[in-house]
Amino acid sequence: MIIFLKPQATPEGVQEILTHITSIGLTALTRAGNGSTSIIVIGDEGLLPSVDLKGHSDVEEIKAIRTPYKLVSRETHSHDTVVTVGGVPIGGQRFAVIAGPCSVESHSQMRNTALAVKAAGAVGLRAGAFKPRSSPYAFQGLGLKGLEILRDVGSELAMPVITEVMDTADVDMVAAHAQCLQIGARNMHNSSLLKAVGQLRMPVVLKRGMSAKVEDLLLAAEYILAEGNDQVILCERGIRTFETATRNTLDLNAIPYLKQRTHLPVVVDPSHGTGVRSLVTPMAKAAAACGADGILVEVHENPKVALSDGAQSLDLPGFQRFMQELGPVVRALGREMP
Ligand code: PEP
Ligand code: MN
C-alpha cells in the first residue's frame, strides 16, 4: 500500500505512522516527491489489513498497489530509473551497447575483443567466467581466472564489466571483480541468489527466464529491490516457444510492456534471443524501436572456434557494421549513441 501524507504532516506524526507499520512487522519506505511525502508499505500481504491509519491526522489518502510487484512498479516510482554501471548511465537519454564474448577464454581473446568493441562504440564489456551450460560436458567457464582476466582488461581499457554470478557462495567474489552482476536466464527464479544480490549496492542485470512470464521477471526484480538494491536492469533475452527455426523467440512485446509498468531500465539481448548471427542486427534495431534502453550483444574475434555460443556471435568487423547500422536507427528515435 501507499500512504500519502498531508503537506502539513508533522515529524512526530510521521514517526508515529512509521512505528505503527513496523510494530506490525511490515517495512515502511519513505518517498519524498515534489512537495509531498508518501510511505510505501511492503511485507507479508497477510499483515496489510492490520494497518490502521485511515483516521490519522497526518494521512491524506491510503491506496492499495494494484500490481503484485510493488517497488519495481511505476505506481510507487513514476519516473525512469537510471542505473549507472561504472560511470555509464543505463536507462537515460543515451542508448547503451554492451558487447563481448559469451565466455572469457583467454587474456588475448578478451583484450582483442574489448579493444575492437570499444573502438566501435560499445560502452561496456560483457563475458562470462561462470557459464550456465545446458550440458555438464560443455565448457563451464574459467571461473576465478576468468574474473581476473575480465577485471584486468576492463580496468586497462576503462570499460565497465558485466559478468554472471550463478551461486550465492560466489556473489562476493564476482562482485569484487566486476561493475555489474548478471543473473542469467536459468537463475531468474533462484530467490536465494536474488536476495543475495539484493544485499549488495551495485548494479545487477536480471535476465528473463526462458519460460518466465513478464510478471515473473518483474517479481524476480522485486526480490532484489525488496532487499534494498534498486540498481536493477531488466533484460529480455528471448523465450522458448514452439518455434524451432531460432534458438529462442525474442519477445518484442515485452519491451514496451515492461517500460509502461516499471521504472527500471530495459535492455535486450538479440544474441540469445535469436541464436542466429544474421538475425542479431535486425532484432537489435527492432528492440531500439520498441523502446529498449540498450543492447547486450555477443562478439568473438573468431566465432568459429568460440568455446560457447559461436553461432550467435558477431565477429569484429560484423560488430562494427552492427554499430553503423544501429546508430542511425537509435538517433532517428531521438536517443543518443556514440
Ligand atoms: C549469457 O549471457 O552468455 C547467457 C548465458 O545468457 P542467458 O542466461 O540469457 O542464457
Ligand atoms: Mn552466451
- pLDDT score, position 250: 98
C-alpha grid cell for residue 94?
543515451
| pLDDT, tens only, 167-179 | 999 999 999 999 9
**Residue 272, pLDDT above cutoff 90:** yes
pTM (2 d.p.):
0.97
- Residue 128 CA to ligand 1 centre (angstroms): 8
State the pLDDT confidence band at 45, using cuts at 50, 70 and 90: very high
Distances (CA, A) of 101 to 141, 223, 282, 315: 12, 29, 19, 10
Residue to mutate, 164, 190, 247, ligand 1, most ligand atoms under 8 Å from C-beta: 164
| Residue 103 CA to ligand 2 centre (angstroms) | 7
Which numbered atom of ligand 1 lies nearest the CA of 102?
3
Rounded average pLDDT over 18-40: 92
Q: How far apart are CA 129 and CA 73, in angstroms?
A: 32
* Contact indicator for 97, 295 with CB cutoff of 8 Å: yes
The confidence score (pLDDT) of residue 338 equals: 83
Name the band, by pLDDT with cuts 50, 70 and 90, for residue 32. Answer: confident
pLDDT of 229 reads 98
pLDDT score for 322: 98
Q: Give the pLDDT confidence of 182-233 residue by residue, as tens digits.
A: 999 999 999 999 999 999 999 999 999 999 999 999 999 999 999 999 999 9
- Whether residue 25 is predicted with pLDDT greater than 90 in this model: the reply is yes
Phi, psi of 84 (to 5 degrees): -100, 120
Give the mean pLDDT of the chain.
Answer: 97
Q: Could you tell me the distance, in angstroms and rounded to a whole number, from the CA of residue 298 to the centre of ligand 2?
A: 7
What is residue 35's predicted lDDT score, i.e. its pLDDT?
Answer: 77
The percentage of the chain sitting over the pLDDT mark of 90, rounded to a whole number, equals 98
Distances (CA, A) of 49 to 41, 54, 171: 11, 12, 37
Specify the residue with its C-alpha closest to ligand 1, atom 9: 185
The closest of 261, 301, 335, 258 to 99, measured between CA atoms, is 301
Taking the centre of ligand 1 as the mean of its atom positions, its distance from the CA of residue 272, in whole angstroms, is 7
Mean pLDDT of 8-33: 94
- pLDDT at position 43: 95
Q: Does any ligand 1 atom lie closer than 6 A to the CB of residue 207? A: yes
Query: Residue range 27-32: average pLDDT?
Result: 93
Residue 184 Cβ inside 6 Å of ligand 1? The answer reads yes
Q: What would the pLDDT profile of 60-87 be if each residue is shown by its tens digit?
A: 999 999 999 999 999 999 999 999 999 9
Q: Which of 336, 315, 317 is nearest to 327 (CA)?
A: 336
Q: What is the per-residue pLDDT for 36? A: 82
The size of the chain, in residues, is 338
Which has the minimum average pLDDT: 30-39, 86-95, 133-142, 289-298? Answer: 30-39
The response to whether residue 263 sits with its C-beta less than 6 Å from ligand 1 reads: no
**For ligand 1, mutation pick of 103, 235, 272 (most atoms within 8 Å of CB):** 272
Give the per-residue pLDDT at 151. Answer: 98
pLDDT band at 291 (very low <50, low <70, confident <90, very high): very high
Residue-level pLDDT at 267: 99
Q: Which atom of ligand 1 is nearest to the CA of 126?
A: 2
